Amino acid sequence: MKAKASKALSELGLDMSTAVKMFLYQVVAEQGIPFVPTKNPAAIRARWDAQVADALKGHGYKTADELHRALLKKTK
């Protein structure tokens, strides 16, 4: 499992240590696991589709500060 994960992360330009650190930062930011563990492909696809639809809406941020504030709100 570790070798498969390492290969997948490498393809994303990450090493295992960096990925674990990112995960831990998200645990702290969200005060919990930053994803819903599931083996249900339909649930995974539905969540992905909802995230893509939200991303495609386009919020029309006028400045980087406005975007940054919006991103910080989503993590709280």
Please determine, for residue 58, whether its predicted confidence score (pLDDT) is greater than 80: no
Q: Higher pLDDT residue, 53 or 74?
A: 53
**Contact in structure between 56 and 50 (CB atoms under 8 Å):** no
**Domain edges within the chain:** 1-35, 36-76
| pLDDT score, position 7 | 95
**Contact in structure between 51 and 40 (CB atoms under 8 Å):** no
| pLDDT score, position 76 | 56
Please determine, for residue 75, whether its predicted confidence score (pLDDT) is greater than 80: no
Does pTM top 0.85 for this prediction? no
CA–CA separation, 74 and 54 (whole Å): 12
| pLDDT score, position 52 | 84
pLDDT tens per residue across span 23-46: 999 999 999 999 888 889 998 899
